Each structure stands twice: as structure tokens, then as C-alpha cells.
Amino acid sequence: MPPKSQKAEIPIIGMTCANCALTIERSLKRKVPGLISANVNVATETATVEFDPRMADLKLIADVV
């Protein structure tokens, strides 16, 4: 049985507008293999991600952010 997806919440400091969040979200979707979902929230300054741990890890995701 393959491993289940992992979810994580990553703090992102310094976002000032919705365009910042959209840019980060698009980058994650383009650059992180195995990314299932990404939701970046300006108000809470966090990115909530779900990913396949066989294809990506938190270091890769943080590097993209």
C-alpha cells in the first residue's frame, strides 16, 4: 500500500497582497512534483500544502516558497 499524502502548514513572512499569495501558490504548483494541493493565505501568512512524500519533502516546498 503506497504511503498516504502528507499535509503541512508553512509560515510565510512578508506577504503584502493577494498577488503575493497567488504568485507563491502558482510557483508551488509548477515546481513541486507530487503536490496535491496548495492554499496560500495572506491574512494568516501561511501556506497549507498536501503532497506525496515519495515525490517531495518539506525542504523542497520551503525552498520554492
Q: What is the CATH number of the domain that holds 55?
A: 3.30.70.100
Please state the domain count of the chain: 1
Instruction: Give residue 30's domain range.
Output: 6-64
Q: What is the pLDDT of residue 10?
A: 94
Residue 46 lies in a domain: yes
Residue 1 lies in a domain: no
Residue 47 lies in a domain: yes
Average pLDDT over the chain reads 92
Residue 30 lies in a domain: yes
Q: What is the pLDDT of residue 65?
A: 85
pLDDT by residue (tens digit) across 12-56?
A: 999 889 999 999 999 999 999 999 999 999 999 999 999 999 999
pLDDT by residue (tens digit) across 44-56?
A: 999 999 999 999 9
pTM assigned to the model:
0.85
Rounded CA gap, 23 and 27, in Å? 6
Kindly report the number of other CB atoms within 10 A of residue 24's CB atom.
19
